[in-house]
Amino acid sequence: MTKLKIKTGDTVKVIAGANKGTKDSPVTGKVLKVLREDNKAIVEGVNIVKKHTKPSAQSPQGGIVEKEAPIHISNLALMTSKGEATRVGYRMEGDKKVRFSKKSNEVL
């Protein structure tokens, strides 16, 4: 398993793929779950797919459900608090290892 620099709860920007958006309105969202074994993440409101479900005890009606599908980590960039995409670095602060933004040098 590889070390991933994106964690659950981070705000990310989609930088490649069909869900990228336009230059004027880039697609951003919060990471809901990271799938480490597949190098993918599920991002809120990104890569929406329609899933056809059969009637069951949980959903007696069945029908078409829209849900987020995983998107590859390489198509995501972490966002700073100011809303710009950045790369991630690690450094020691005292005896603690922290992630920091390479662009603005702020702790993430």
Residue 42 has pLDDT above 90, yes or no: yes
Q: Where are the domains of the chain?
A: 11-83
Q: Looking at the predicted structure, is the pLDDT value of residue 18 above 90?
A: no
Pairs from 15-24 (Cβ < 8 Å, separation ≥ 24): 15/75, 15/76, 15/77, 15/85, 16/74, 16/75, 17/71, 17/72, 17/75, 18/47, 19/46, 19/47, 19/71, 20/75
Question: Which CATH class name applies to 11-83?
Answer: mainly beta
Tell me the per-residue pLDDT of 79-96, one tens digit each, with 9 for 90 and over.
888 888 899 899 998 899
What does the pLDDT look like over 57-73, one tens digit per residue?
A: 887 888 898 999 999 99
